Every structure is written in C-alpha cells, then in structure tokens.
A and B are shown apart, each in its own frame.
Chain A
Amino acid sequence: EPEVTQTPSHQVTQMGQEVILRCVPISNHLYFYWYRQILGQKVEFLVSFYNNEISEKSEIFDDQFSVERPDGSNFTLKIRSTKLEDSAMYFCASSESNTGELFFGEGSRLTVL
C-alpha cells in the first residue's frame, strides 16, 4: 500500500540552527501539506502546496518557514533559526485532489534545545 514517508523520524537541534524535514508523498498525489502538533495539543495546519507553489498558509507559517519540492518526489519543510517553541511533531500529508482524504506520514519529531 502506498504511503507517505518522512525523514528524519527525530531531530534534535540547537536553538538558532536551521533544520530541513523531508517528505516523500504518495507518487500520484498532487497536493501536499505540512501540519504540526505540539506535544499533547491539537494538529495545526501550516501550509498547502500545489503545482509548485503555496496554495494556502496559516499564520504560523511566517518567514521562518519555507517549503520546496526540489525534485519530482521530495517535499521539504525548512525551518530557519529554530526557537524552543518550534519543538513539535511535524506531519507531512498528501492527497489526490484538493478535497477529500489526506494521507499522513508518521511524522518527524523536532526537539529544539
């Protein structure tokens, strides 16, 4: 069964460092998303991406964040100058259309020290 894969599963970084979280969406999907979940809290939308551009972003997704689809398979989230409050689980998701079921990866746990 096709699945969304995310790497790394866990990253520990020092405050102020840059991190890149990687995702390989399901191959025939066209819409890609990043969500985050601070421990024990709700799942928050960050950004959606379609046709090589951002289609929607939340207030959380400020200039510290960027997304890229550098090749035909990877979808990355870059977080510049990380802060303690960026510590969270980051989930990538993809879908065939812009309405309907999202397929989520297992997440990348980011710990900022």
Chain B
Amino acid sequence: SQQGEEDPQALSIQEGENATMNCSYKTSINNLQWYRQNSGRGLVHLILIRSNEREKHSGRLRVTLDTSKKSSSLLITASRAADTASYFCATEDLSGYALNFGKGTSLLVTP
C-alpha cells in the first residue's frame, strides 16, 4: 500500500503567519485527508479532498490537490499558538479499506 509523505518534517513560525505543509503520494487515490494530532493525543480529522477536486476550504484551512503531480498542500492561514501540533496527510487508495498515513509535519507556532 502507498503512503503520503509530508514535507517539511518540522516547521516553526510565529503567530499570525501562514503555515504550508506538503504531501506527496505514489499511486491513484479516492481521496486525501488531513489530520491533526496534539502531542500524545488521538488524530482529529481536518479536511477531506476527493480525487476530482482541486481545492477545498474549511475556516482557516485551504487544501489543494494535484493528481497529476500526486501531491497536496495544506495551508493554515493566520496561525495561532493553539495550531501547534503534528499534521498528517492520509491517502485512501482505490481499494478503499484503509487510510495510509505519512510521517507528519510537526508545526510549532510561537506567540
């Protein structure tokens, strides 16, 4: 099974700045999802983008998907200290049963 791979591994920004995280994957997908994980906690779903969509917004989140490049990006605008967490992309391949997670991007937002 394939996995998403996030880039960068770690990102440190100041409050108010935008944070951009990228994800690349290897084979065809049904959808791509982004999850957030606070330290030592469970994963929380943020947003899902289907393979026939190119961009999606949810609050301060903007996700893009380029299936020709097999890549996605997550943009968090006007970041807050509370956005500090690890962010994972997860791909659902055509078999559909399992989500495959990447290694995550660790985001630190300093006041």
8 A Cβ contacts from A35-83 to B: 35, 41-45, 48, 55-56, 58
Q: Is there a chain A Cβ closer than 8 Å to B41's Cβ?
A: yes
Residues of B within 8 A of A2 (CB): none
Contact A48 B44 (CB under 8 A): no
Interface range on chain B (Cβ under 8 Å from partner): 20 to 34
Docked complex Cα distance between A100 and B97 (Å): 10
Contact A43 B101 (CB under 8 A): yes
Residues of B within 8 A of A91 (CB): 42-43
Residues of A within 8 A of B98 (CB): 33, 45, 48, 56, 58
Contact B103 A98 (CB under 8 A): no
User: Which residues of A are interface residues toward B (Cβ below 8 A)?
Assistant: 4, 33, 35, 41-45, 48, 55-56, 58, 89, 91, 93, 98-107
